[in-house]
Structure 1
Amino acid sequence: MSTMAKFCLAGSVAVSAGIVFYVHFRQEVERSQLHEGVIKDLERQRMRQIENITVLQKQRDLEKQLSQND
C-alpha cells in the first residue's frame, strides 16, 4: 500500500471517528436538555399548584368573612 493511500485511509478513519464522536456528544447534550425541560415543567406545575391552593384558601377565608357579616 502506498504512503498516499495510507494517509487517505487514516484521514477517512479519523474523520469518521470524529463524526461518530460528535453525533454521540450531541445526543447526550440534547438528552440532558430534554431532561432539564421536564424538570422545569414539573417545577412550574408545582408552583402553579401552590398558587392555586393559596388562591383557594383566600377564597374560603373571604367566604367565611362574608357569611359572618350576614
Structure 2
Amino acid sequence: MSLASKITLGASVVIATATVFGVHYKKSYDQKRLKQGVVKDLERQERKRRNREELQHQIELTQRLEMQRDQQEGTSKHKS
C-alpha cells in the first residue's frame, strides 16, 4: 500500500469516526434541549396559573374594598 493510500485511508477513518461521534453528540444534546423545553413549559404554565390565581384574589380584594368604601361613604352622607 502506498503512502498516499495510507494517508487517505487514515483520513477517511478519522473523518468517519468524527462524524459518527458528532451525530451521537448532537442527538444527545438535542434530546436534552427538548426535555428542558418541556420542563420550562411546565414551569411557565405553573407561573401563569399562580398569576391568574393572584389576579383573581386581587380582584376580589378590590371589590371588597370598594364595597366597604361605598358603605362608609353612604353612612357618612346620612350623618351629614
| Shorter-normalised TM range | 0.7 to 0.9
- Matching residue of 2:22: 22
The equivalent residue for 2:13 is 13
Tell me the CA shift for residue 46 of structure 1. Answer: 0.3
Instruction: Indicate yes or no: 2:57 matched with 1:61.
Output: no
Greater Rg by CA: 2
Write the letter of the residue equivalent to 1:14. Answer: V
Structure 1 residue runs without a partner (length 5+): none
CA distance in 2, matches of 1:58, 1:14: 64
37-46 vs 50-59, which moves further: 50-59
Show structure 2 runs of 5+ residues with no match.
Answer: 72-80
Task: After superposition, give the CA deviation of every residue in 1:9-67 in whole Å (9 maximum; x if it has no partner).
Answer: 22211110110100111111111111111111111100000011111222333444538
Count of residues in Structure 1 that have an aligned counterpart in Structure 2: 70
Identity of paired residues, percent? 28
The CA RMSD measured in Å over matched residues stands at 2.3
Q: Which moved more, 1:24-33 or 1:57-66?
A: 57-66
Counterparts of 1:26-65 in structure 2 under 5 Å? 26-65=26-65
